[in-house]
Each structure stands twice: as C-alpha cells, then as structure tokens.
C-alpha cells in the first residue's frame, strides 16, 4: 500500500471543536468599540442613509445605546458630536455645554465606568470649513494654533468625565500637548487613544453624512498618503514617545499591513478603525444578496484582529457581540 502524506493539516480542521481548539485569533465583545454619533437638536434618532442600521442619536437614545453596549460587554464607546452651529474655530468643541461634552456627561452619568467612555478629540465636526484645525491667513490648517485648541478640548472632555480622549486630527505634536494639558489639570487618569496612522482615504465617504461634514477641499496636507507604510510606523512611535496609551490605524482593511507593522513596533495596545466605507460596502453587497452578511461581518473583524489589532472600532460592535454570544 502506498503511504499517504505524512503531514495532514486537515486533521486540525475536521470538526468545529477541533477548529476552535487550534484557532490562532479570537474575536470577543471586549475587543470591540462602538462609534456613536449624537446630534444636537434631534427629537428622534435620525437614520444615516449611507450606513444602514446606524443613526445620529438624540441624547436620550444615546444613553440607551450606552446601556446596551455595557450589557453586551463591549470594549467601549467612541462619541462623536454633531452641533447645530459651527464656526471657523470650532468653538462648540470646547463649550462645556456643547453637544459632545454634554453627551459625555450623559453617558458617564448613565453607565459610570462599566465600560470606557471615549470621545473624538478633533475640530472637523465643529468648524464651518470642515477641517480638523483652525486655518491660517492662506487657508491652510495651522498646526500649532490648532494644538492650543486641542489642549482646551481635552480639558473640556476631561471635566465632563471622559475616560479616554481620541486625538484624531493628525496634527504634529498633538499627543504631547493633550497629555500635558490633562496632567496639568490633575487628570493623569484620562487615557489617550491616539489616531496615529490616519490615512487620507476614499473610504471615509459615508461618515461625512453621519457628521454633517462641511469640508471644503481635502485633508491631504495632514492625513497620511496611502502609498506610505513606514510613515505609519514612524507616526505611531512618535505618539508613544509623547505619551499615547493606545495607538490606532485608520482605515483598517486597506491598511492591514500597517496594522501588522505597528503591532511589531510598539509595546502599547494597537487599535484599528473599521470605517464607514468598509461598513457600507459589506452592507450594500449583503442587501443585494451577493454575500452572507453575518459571516462577512465576523470574517472582516477577525481579519483586523489577525493583522495585529488588539481592539477594533466598528459600527457592527453591538451586533457582532450578539452574534458571537449566539454562536457559543
């Protein structure tokens, strides 16, 4: 009898239990962070057309979403505020009664420290020109003037009770300035999740509807060039040096290689943001019957974890947690 192959990897795929035994990558609710949008002046949640299943929340519906997220054991909530009024310097971002700071107080008051309450620290939702910073006399984003506003924004969010701030504007030195401002206010307990490698991407389209973006032009002078991978590692290392507690890559799917490189380069946790365009593509394909939606969600999130992300920001966080619970 002719002997068969000596090596038979299929032995370890023979049953569900065997596959689970040797699985290299886990996907758990505690690794998922849910981004949520809260819009000033709403009296009912407002569906976002390009992101089926995602809404702009009222303050009341946001509180309910926070309770659900805590009950599901998610890794956290990332809050984005959508104000009724904008101006050139994004003054609503530092207003203690502005929508984002009010939402932080609402959520922390509702769930306490059951899960980390995080907030986006950027000006793009609050400026009438839609850029992530204040503009100079030539219409460009003034890096250092913007840093001064970020410091005040960090103070305002900390005063509202936030657990984690997420500086996302890709200004040089933003993490150091935010850390210094928090520490000077006696808020060394507030962590920084730095958007370290944030790329100028075509996949941001749907989120601009979610935040009622008023962007004029583009963000290529401060967000990273999609052709550069080493640069993402450099940015992450700089943020760690400046005091970042977690570093993040955004988007996720088109930058899995950058996630892997950053994971190998830093000793802090690594996050990745499964962004609106990535979400919308799966939802659109599933709506047309082209893919198995639930399987695609789990496979997508697992791929990001496999690349090296310790935590994943995703609009599927709550649904994925329920799916994972039902599959146990």
Q: What are phi and psi of 140, to 5 degrees?
A: -90, 165
Catalytic residue among 39, 57, 131, 198: 198
Which entry of 250, 261, 263, 305 is annotated as an active-site residue?
250
**Residue 196: how many other CB atoms lie within 10 Å:** 33
Using a 10 angstrom Cβ sphere, with 0-12 exposed, 13-18 middle and 19 or more buried, the burial of residue 135 is middle
Q: Confirm if 300 and 278 have CB atoms less than 8 A apart.
A: yes
Would you call 246 helix, strand, or coil by DSSP? strand
Q: b or e along 249-262 (b: 16 or more beta carbons within 10 Å of the residue's beta carbon)?
A: bbbbbebbebbbbb
Q: Decide: residue 310, CB within 10 A, 0-12 exposed, 13-18 middle, 19+ buried.
A: middle
Quick check: is 86 catalytic? no
Q: Is 250 a catalytic residue?
A: yes
Determine how many CB atoms are found less than 10 A away from the CB of residue 152.
13
Name the helix (H) or strand (E) containing 38.
strand 32-39
* C-alpha of 100 from chain center: 15
The residues annotated as belonging to the active site are 198, 250
């Amino acid at each position: 009898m002719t002997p068969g192959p000596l090596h038979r990897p299929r032995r370890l795929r023979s049953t569900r239990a065997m596959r689970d035994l040797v699985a290299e990558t886990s996907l758990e609710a505690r690794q998922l962070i849910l981004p949520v949008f809260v819009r000033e002046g709403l009296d009912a949640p407002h569906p976002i057309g390009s992101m089926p299943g995602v809404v702009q929340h009222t303050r009341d519906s946001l509180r309910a979403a926070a309770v659900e997220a805590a009950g599901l054991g998610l890794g956290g909530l990332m809050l984005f505020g959508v104000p009724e009024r904008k101006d050139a310097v994004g003054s609503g971002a530092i207003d203690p009664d502005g929508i984002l700071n009010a939402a932080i107080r609402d959520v922390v008051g509702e769930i306490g420290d059951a899960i980390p309450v995080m907030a986006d620290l950027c000006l793009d939702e609050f400026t009438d020109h839609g850029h992530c910073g204040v503009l100079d006399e030539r219409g460009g984003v003034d890096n250092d003037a913007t840093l001064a506003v970020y410091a005040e924004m960090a103070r305002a969010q900390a005063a509202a009770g936030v657990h984690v701030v997420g500086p996302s504007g890709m200004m040089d030195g933003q993490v150091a300035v935010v850390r210094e401002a928090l520490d000077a206010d006696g808020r060394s307990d507030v962590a920084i999740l730095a958007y370290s490698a944030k790329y100028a991407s075509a996949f941001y389209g749907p989120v601009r509807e979610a935040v009622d973006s008023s962007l004029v032009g583009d963000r290529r002078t401060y967000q990273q060039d999609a052709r550069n991978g080493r640069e993402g590692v450099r940015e992450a290392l700089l943020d760690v040096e400046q005091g970042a507690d977690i570093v993040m890559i955004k988007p996720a799917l088109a930058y899995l290689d950058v996630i892997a490189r950053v994971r190998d380069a830093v000793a802090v946790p690594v996050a990745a943001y499964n962004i609106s365009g990535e979400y919308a593509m799966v939802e659109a394909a599933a709506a047309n019957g082209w893919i198995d939606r639930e399987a695609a969600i789990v496979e997508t999130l697992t791929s990001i974890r496999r690349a090296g992300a310790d935590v994943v920001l995703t609009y599927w966080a709550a649904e994925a947690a329920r799916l994972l619970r039902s599959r146990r």
